[in-house]
Amino acid sequence: MAYQAGGPRPQPRPVPESLEAQAYLQDYAALLESVPFPSVVVDHRWDVVLANGAFETLFRGVGPHPTAMPGDNFLRFVLFHPDAGTVLAEHESSWCLPMLAHFSAAVERHGHDHGLQSILRDIAQDPIMDAAYRHGLPHWIRSVGPDAVEHDGAVRPLLHPDPRWGRTDCRIVGETPKTLEDMGYTRLTLVLREARRPTAARRAGRARRTAGHLSVVPPAVEA
C-alpha cells in the first residue's frame, strides 16, 4: 500500500489485472494486518504492495520525502531518506549495504526495468552512494561473505519509536506463499526482539560515524 507514515493507507498497488488476484491480495492484506510484527509485501523494485499497521507504526516518525517514503518504495527509503538511520540502526552495514547487494542482483535480472534504472540513476548522482555501490559493495561482500547479503534469517538492529521496544533487534523472516511469488511479490516480516542495551563498542562506533558518510568508502582527503 502506498502511504506516508502516519497517513491513510489506500488500496494495494500495483493492482493485478485478474479479479481473482485482486481478491487474493485483499484477503492477504487482512491476514497481514493480524500480524503483530512489521510485515511488508514488495515487488522486484521494492515498491510496497501491502504493509500492515505495525510496519506503519515502526516508521511513523520519519519526515516527508518526495520519493523515498518507506510505504512507497522501501529500497529508496533505505538508500535515500535522511531519516532512515533513525529507525534502521547501524544503517550502513546492517541495512544499506545488504539492500544495495539485492538491488545489484535485481538489476542483473531485470536490467531494462524503468523503475530500477531510475534508482540506478539516482545512485549515480550521489557521489558517496555511487562509490559505495561500485567500489564499497564488492569489498564488503568479499569481507562478510555472500550469506550476509541474504535478508531471510538475518538479525538486524532497529530503533523502534515505541519505548516498550526502543533500541532492539529484529529477525527478518521471508515468508512468501506460492501465489504471491507467482505474482512477482516477496513478503518480509521483522520479528522484534526484547529491547537491548547498546554495548560500549556500539556506542563508540556510533560516535565515530558522521552523518551521510558510508564508512566503506574512505572519506575525501582535504588539500
Quote the pTM value.
0.81
Whether residue 31 is predicted with pLDDT greater than 70 in this model: the reply is: yes
pLDDT in tens, 51-63: 999 999 999 999 9
Higher pLDDT, 96 or 149: 96
Mean pLDDT of 183-197: 88
Domain extent listing, the chain? 19-203
Mean pLDDT of 2-15: 42
Whether residue 164 is predicted with pLDDT greater than 50 in this model: the reply is: yes
Higher pLDDT, 49 or 194: 49
95's grid cell? 541495512
Given the candidates 3.30.450.180, 2.70.98.10, 3.40.50.620, 1.20.1250.20, the CATH classification of the domain at 19-203 is 3.30.450.180
Whether residue 205 is predicted with pLDDT greater than 60 in this model: the reply is: no
